[in-house]
Amino acid sequence: MEKKKPTLALEMKEIELTIGKIMRVGVVLAAVFMLVGMGLFFINKGSGYPGATFPTTLTLIFQGTLHFKAYAYMMAGIFFLILTPVLRVIVSIYAFWKEKDFLYVYITSAVLFILIISYLIGHH
Amino acid sequence: MSNDILILLLIGLFAGTMGAILGLGGGIIITPIVTLALGLEIKYAIGASIIAVIATSSGATIAFLKDDVLNLRVAMFLEIATTIGAIAGAILTGVINSGFLYVLFGSLLVFSSWNMLRKLRAGQEVLQLTHPDKIATRFKLNDSYYDKNLKAKIDYQVEHIPTGLSIMFGAGLASGMLGIGSGAFKVMALDNAMKMPLKPASATSNLMMGVTAAASATVYFFNGSIRPDIAVPLALGILVGATIGSRIMQLLPSKIIRAVFIPVLLYLGLQMILKGTGVL
């Protein structure tokens, strides 16, 4: 037991650092899109959409970014932000698998599976 | 317009800092400001709160992972209960009387606030059992964290895992049905029931609430409840605030964080009870 403890802690540290790095990429990406959107809003003096409307489908958001519409970039940033916790769960599965902690590969996969179900129920 | 943006950035900065320190979502700060100060519909307040929770969670988690404060296994293990609870909540909306739930969960928070007070007086922060909890050992939930205030690595144990799981299920249920208490119930499960020290408890709650919120966030995103002009400045402010807060939290003595919790949980609990009984 005494001998096993340090390796367990070390393994955990590595997993945490990997997940932390990937989450930072996700958050920075989201923040960059939001900032570009805010910048476009002030440069173009408008959202790029009529009245108070804004794009809520991924297709419209993507098309809007091609035309440098402020709200399209802002919504894309928000969408990336929403994805960061999900990204964290996916990367965790990989990290636990790499460290051969299969118990936690199963537990984390179960969380991802339940998340997908809740997503499907929400869109029903 | 630019005035509103500045206000939202500042609110985000404050909510993110406090949220990262306490492991709470910041809905108590965001909702009244969006509805009362900016005069917007409640659905936009809920949309903004959900984004606030995710921004706080992701912003703070980066530092907490790097500095080895949170307990990733506990988070993953308990997330099974919160996500199932969230689904149950979504299904049961309209079946169970929400007034009853508000009173029930509100009372739990008041009790939790009293528990925090008791713990503050007792002054004991770290659980060290001579015979470690069997479930905790089986699932490798006992861990250590580095406390920057004490400048020491603290080994700790957790116990009462089934109680923790039950409260986490309730936390998922509450956020799925009522859209509230994303962080408060998680801190309650980790700190009150499982006896995790407050700093890893708050950091772990921070990590977990992002996942719970992400499940419902896409619904709000696609149905147009998340307004970019509100959510974006708020999220940017929160990301900066959470980065600051996650550093401040590690330097603070646990006692001070606990002292801040007592009135916050009491306020949250009373607010929910009043809402459930129809006074609010």
Cβ-Cβ contacts under 8 Å, B221 against chain A = 56, 78-79, 82
Length of chain A (residues): 124
Whether pLDDT at A4 is above 50 = no
- Measure the CA–CA gap between B91 and B68, rounded to whole angstroms: 37
Q: Decide if pLDDT at A25 tops 90.
A: yes
CA distance to partner chain B, nearest, from residue A68 (Å):
15
Contact by Cβ (8 Å): B167, B185: yes
Secondary structure of chain A in HEC code, one letter for each residue: CCCHHHHHHHHHHHHHHHHHHHHHHHHHHHHHHHHHHHHHHHHHCCCCCCCCCCCCCHHHHHHHHHCCCHHHHHHHHHHHHHHHHHHHHHHHHHHHHHCCCHHHHHHHHHHHHHHHHHHHHHCC
Q: Is the pLDDT of residue B104 over 90?
A: no
Range of the domain at A30: 4-122
Of B53-62, B70-79, B120-129, B255-264, least confident by mean pLDDT is: B120-129
Q: Report pLDDT digits (tens) over B127-162.
A: 677 678 888 888 888 888 888 888 888 899 999 999
Mean per-residue pLDDT over chain B, rounded: 87
User: Looking at the predicted structure, is the pLDDT value of residue A33 above 90?
Assistant: yes
B108 and A CB contact within 8 Å: no
Query: Which pLDDT score is estimated for A1?
Result: 43
The band of A68, judged by pLDDT with boundaries at 50, 70 and 90, is: very high
pLDDT in tens, B92-102: 777 777 788 88
Is B202 in contact with A80 (CB distance < 8 Å)? Answer: no
Nearest to A24 among B62, B207, B231 (CB): B62
Which residues does chain A have within 8 Å of residue B56's beta carbon, measured at their own beta carbons?
A: none
Of the residues B66, B67, B79, the best mutation for testing chain A's interface (the one with the most A CB atoms within 10 Å of its CB) is: B79
Confidence of residue B181 (pLDDT cuts 50, 70, 90): low
Q: What is the pTM for the complete model shown? A: 0.90
B232 chain-A contacts, CB cut-off 8 A: 34, 37-38, 74, 77-78
B276 backbone dihedrals φ, ψ, rounded to 5°: -70, -35
> For residue A36, what are the contacts with CB-CB under 8 A and spacing of at least 6?
A73, A77
Residue B139 — φ and ψ, nearest 5°? -100, 15
**CB within 8 Å: A118 and B139:** no
B224 contacts in chain A (CB < 8 Å): 54, 56
B contacts of A110 (beta carbons < 8 Å): 80
Confidence of residue A3 (pLDDT cuts 50, 70, 90): very low
A31–B236 CB contact, under 8 Å: yes
Mean pLDDT in chain A? 88
Count up the domains in chain A and report the number.
1
Q: Give me the interface pTM, i.e. the ipTM.
A: 0.89
What is the share, in percent, of chain B residues with pLDDT greater than 90?
Answer: 38
Q: Which helix (H) or strand (E) holds B252?
A: none
Is residue B62 very low, low, confident or very high in pLDDT (cuts 50, 70, 90)?
very high
Query: Would you call B211 an interface residue with chain A, using a CB distance cutoff of 8 Å?
Result: yes
Q: Do B235 and A75 touch (CB under 8 A)?
A: no
Dump pLDDT digits (tens) for B224-276.
Answer: 889 999 999 999 999 999 999 999 999 999 899 999 989 998 988 898 889 88
Least confident of A104-108, B64-68, B94-98, B223-227: B94-98
For residue B86, the SS3 value is helix
A38: nearest CB among B62, B211, B232? B232
Q: Quick one: DSSP state of residue B147?
A: E
Q: Is the pLDDT higher at B26 or at B208?
A: B208
Backbone angles phi, psi at B95, to 5 degrees: -85, -50
Q: Which residues contact B280 (CB under 8 A, 6 or more apart)?
A: B271, B274
pLDDT given at position A93: 93
Interface test with B, best of A22, A71, A111, A123 (most B CBs within 10 A): A111
User: In angstroms, what separates the C-alpha of B153 from chain A's closest C-alpha?
Assistant: 12
